[in-house]
Amino acid sequence: MITDKIKSPNSSLEKTKLARKLYEEIKHIREIRDFAGWHLSKILYYFDKFGLQNYLFGKAMSKNTFYGEIDIPISTVFYHTSLYEFYIIENNIDFNLLKDATTRKLSRGIPLLKGKSKDKIIKAVELAKKETLSLSDYLTEIKDL
């Protein structure tokens, strides 16, 4: 639980075990966060595509006003909708392939991948899964695809 306190480890072995346990929790939380992010991407994409903000509160409103009402910055909307549109709608990349990739890398890679074949985009998605590949190295790698 969030309110559970962690006892201070005394030995190196206890610290190692705790570090590994907490690291596994971080990975799990990131998986949940990333899944929620893709789900949010889908929802925002369709809100944007169909202009659904005009039908939610019983009055017409601009997209900026709507996103302000639900406390999502327009830059976040753009980030999520561009991911969903490029990878899922335009290029039909399976979610199971995308789910373990770093969305920050995927987002920054979109301008370099536009117009490339689906096979090259899939290679870029696979590269985005490599935790040891920095963002700048990732962008360098996909330029050459």
46 in a structural domain: yes
pLDDT at residue 55 in the model: 87
64 in a structural domain: yes
Q: What are the angstrom distances between the C-alpha of 41 and each of 34, 69, 141?
A: 10, 18, 26
2 in a structural domain: no
Distance in angstroms between the alpha carbons of the first and the last residue of the chain: 45
137 in a structural domain: yes
Q: Which residue did the predictor score with more confidence, 89 or 58?
A: 89
Q: How far apart are CA 122 and CA 93, in angstroms?
A: 7
7 in a structural domain: no
- Residue 71: count other Cβ atoms within 10 Å of its Cβ: 7
Q: What are the angstrom distances between the C-alpha of 95 and each of 66, 103, 111, 131?
A: 28, 12, 20, 19
Q: Would you say 145 and 120 are in contact if contact means Cβ atoms under 8 Å apart? A: yes
Q: How far apart are CA 78 and CA 90, in angstroms?
A: 16
Burial 16-54, CB ≥16 within 10 A → b, else e = eeeeeeeeeeeeeeeeeebeeebebbbebbebbeeeebe
71 in a structural domain: yes
Number of domains observed in the structure of the chain = 1
- Residue 127: count other Cβ atoms within 10 Å of its Cβ: 20
133 in a structural domain: yes
- Domain range spanning residue 59? 12-143
Helix (H, G, I), strand (E, B) or coil at 128: helix
Question: Is residue 117 scored above 90 in pLDDT?
Answer: yes
4 in a structural domain: no
Residue with tokens 């987002």: 107
Q: How confident is the model at residue 27 (pLDDT cuts 50, 70, 90)?
A: confident
pLDDT per residue as tens digits for the range 37-77 = 999 999 999 999 998 988 887 778 888 899 998 999 999 99
Tokens of 30: 């990131």
Q: What is the mean pLDDT of the chain?
A: 92
